[in-house]
Chains A and B, each alone.
Chain A
Amino acid sequence: MIELFRDIKVDWLGKRKIFLAISGAVMLLGLVSLIAKRSFNYGVDFKGGTIVQVRFKQKPDIEKIRQLLRENGAQDSQPQEIAGRNDVLIEFQGAKEEDASAGRGVIINALNKGFPDQFEVLSAQSIGPKVGDDLKRQAVFATLYALGGILVYIAFRFEWIYGAAAVFAVFHDTLVTLGLFSIFNREINLTVIAALLTLVGYSVNDTIVVFDRVRENLKIRRRDDLETIMNDSINQTLSRTILTSGLTFLTVLALFIFGGEIISHFAFAMVVGIIVGTYSSIAIAAPLVLVYTNIRGRALPQPAAPARAAVSKGPRPKRAKDVAPKAG
């Protein structure tokens, strides 16, 4: 029998200050980058404009394309070669209110002047400025609703602090991933939003597996304190966490390598997201619950015993509201 992880005894929660500091630092770095760059590098689906993917018969001279575009009314467009193929992506910024797709004609006309009959338009996407804003708003709301739904569900199944900690953990994942997108200047488009939402699901998944084990252990071992139980729970589920994350990482890596240009932004978000998501379930979610319980424990002698919804109908701690935002 091959076993990669057995009898691991790592004191995860003892290092919580280090973890929280690291996460804080990475989030801060992303924030600084975002402030310095003023805005994310949005794809045309969010800022409006046209993007055309063209395949040439021979490897085209990118300088010639750039010049043709500049001379024929597409000053702002940036042609970009796709590695390994004779394809070029051309972005045309700014879309008119009446007809968002006007940019496509401009680009194709320009190319026709220099490369008649030497290219094929693989795809063209145009988004009006109003739609771009709508999509951005919709994406943000979809994420917030999804987080809200998860918070309610976990709060219902465990206790509210577990829900809050899980949601804060995924919030952390989203912020870190977005920060990395800003630092590496990667483009944020609709498929990246889909990836962010997927990693929200994954991260919550990881967190729930740990919390579930904590709940189970709390029921069996009533004498141990929460910190010990949490450490053990994380260690017991560690082999599963690493295996699953590793295998999922493998599938996403396949997507990143073989999935083609369009999927690559999605895959990048997932590659980053899986690493961050796995880390946050261990290093953020559980420590937050512990930190909160310790603070509350000083006020109330009994430690919070996670229980099923039916059992946890006791009075909610009054200080809950004061503590949660500070933790968040």
Chain B
Amino acid sequence: MNKRILRRLLITLAVTLLCIWRVTAYPGLVPSKQRVLDNVKLGLDLRGGIHMVLQVVTDDAIRAQTDQTIDSLRQELNKRNIVFRQIARTQTNTFQVVGVDPNKDSEFRAALNERFTEWDLISTGGEVPNTYTIRLKPAQEQAYRTQSVDQAIQTIRNRIDQLGVGEVVIQKHGGPGENEILVQLPGVSDPARVKSIMQSTAQLELKLVDSGPYPSQAAAAQNYGGVIPGNLEVLPSVERDGGSSEGTYYVVQQVASITGRDLKGAYPSRDENGRPAVSFNLNADGAQRFGRVTGENIGKMLAIVLDKRIQSAPRINGRITDSGIITGGASGFSPQAAQDLALVLRSGALPASIRYQEEEVVGPTLGADSIRAGLTAAVVALVSVVVFMLVYYRFSGINATVAMLLNLIVLFGALSYFGAALTLPGIAGVILTIGVGIDSNVLIFERIREELRAGKTALSAVITSFSRVFVTLVDTHLAALISAMFLFLFGTGPVKGFAVTLFIGLVSNMFTAVFVSRTLFEWTLNRHQRAQTLSI
């Protein structure tokens, strides 16, 4: 046998075996069904699961940052004895200090420059003289937005991990400035629970109660002469008085004594009535502060606030340092709710609220249905094409069939190598790859027939045809690859899955239709040394 042909046959064989091994046996040596299932990843639409795109409302994080800064600045100004009339947030990233003592202008600026370097003083004028408008630096603002998305991803991952779902995808999504997160949970089909765990901000705050309870917000305000002072706020309580449908309200300190950041742990437990509750303990820093606050305020009430709602407001009976309990109010928590609350408290607070942009749930039944439908279509397509090729091109049809099967083997080998998941549109891509494979073969065969009609010998017809058609195949494949590439780059979800299989299929088809098919032709002609006829 011709050395060149032998070498080509060996390359073909090696690629085939490598791909078969990659799909059926990798990383071991013995093929098994389990290995196939591990190596060919299925997309969510085929195996069932949840796909979500969330948007982090980063404005929340900026607002929180501004509020926190206002608080620090207020303390700083008090410390430096700089008198001012009012300090308040005017936009998400801007606040105003109104009516600063005119003699303290330079001292005010110094305080700002020393301690608040992330902020710009953008104006000193206003309706009231000596009003300073202060805005977060744009670069800093962008950094906080990015940071809040990262933090949200981390928090969501912490929470989802505790659900014990395998192969979870949680990552940034969309372009810069979109602040989107992609979440994919294979095998999960209860989106309601996933969402309640994910979106719960679970912001825990312990606040001293100034007065209360009141039957309504208005009643609370009345007690302060109609206007609640700036350092206090009214919060609703989940506890209800007996059968009254009206909620109760407390007036509490606006600044929390302890927040979720001081938490060390949280776990489900039971309250004194044996109902499900959540116990928490604090880290060293938090415990120290908690001890001081409770020690100084014995006899007063302390509100345990979760997401701006008072869960309970027990009276402080003595100095408490490092632990507490959150009860579910009069109706109590359900065991599942207590468990989930403990989970979200442990995982840390979300820095901002979340919007659900996109959600797709595929049940396991539909996934199995789709696999069956996709496979049926692929097999029917393949068989009908093979039958046609064998009838129309006789022995050369075998050649085409081998090339086409090999194309599929290489395609799946590559999919498994790149770890690309096979999706339903991906199966469509596979079927189209079969179509492209046919086209290449038909193009070559028709050309060979044409050359034979022109009176060439079998071998020379094969060689001429392959070299002529090669140019055409390169042109058609490159053009298709270019469009597949754009689909991959700019497409989303299903379009992307389709582009991946199409792209790989086109590349592997170049190999099988040109290299393998030609080798097979030359091999056949070479074996029958004086072959003047070709079964085509």
Q: Point out residues on A near B: beta carbons under 8 Å.
A: 1-3, 53, 55, 97-101, 104-105, 120-128, 130-131, 134-135, 138-139, 141-142, 145-146, 149-150, 153-154, 157, 190-191, 193-194, 197-198, 200-202, 204-205, 208-209, 212-213, 216, 236-237, 239-240, 243-244, 247-248, 250-252, 254-255, 257-260, 262-263, 266
Contacts and interface: CB of A to CB of B under 8 A. Distances in A.
B495 A190 contact: yes
A263 B360 contact: no
B471 to A, nearest CB: 6
Contacts of A197: 483, 487, 495
Contacts of A121: 189, 361, 363
A254 B377 contact: yes
Interface stretch (B6-14, B68-76, B244-252, B437-445): B437-445
Contacts of B373: 258-260, 263
A255 B360 contact: no
Contact of A205 (B439, B449, B471): B439
Given A55-B365, A145-B486, A248-B435, A243 B442 contact: yes
B442 A244 contact: yes
Contacts of A128: 355-358
Contact of B476 (A142, A194, A209): A209
A200 B487 CA distance: 12
Given A120-B363, A216-B468, A254-B431, A150 B442 contact: no
Contact of B377 (A1, A2, A97, A258): A258
A190 B498 CA distance: 11
Contacts of B443: 209, 240, 244
Interface residues of B, number: 73
Given A145-B486, A194-B487, A244-B438, A122 B377 contact: no
19 contacts: A3-B449, A101-B359, A104-B191, A104-B361, A122-B362, A127-B358, A138-B491, A142-B490, A142-B491, A145-B489, A146-B483, A146-B487, A157-B475, A198-B432, A201-B483, A208-B479, A216-B468, A254-B377, A255-B377
B106 interface: no
Given A130-B357, A146-B482, A190-B495, A243 B446 contact: yes
Nearest to A124: B361
Contacts of B432: 198, 248, 251
B139 interface: no
Nearest to B389: A247
B355 A251 contact: no
B392 interface: yes
A105 B435 CA distance: 42
A240 B479 contact: no
Given A127-B358, A263-B424, A138 B442 contact: no
A124 B360 contact: yes
Interface in B131-156: none
A272 to B, nearest CB: 15
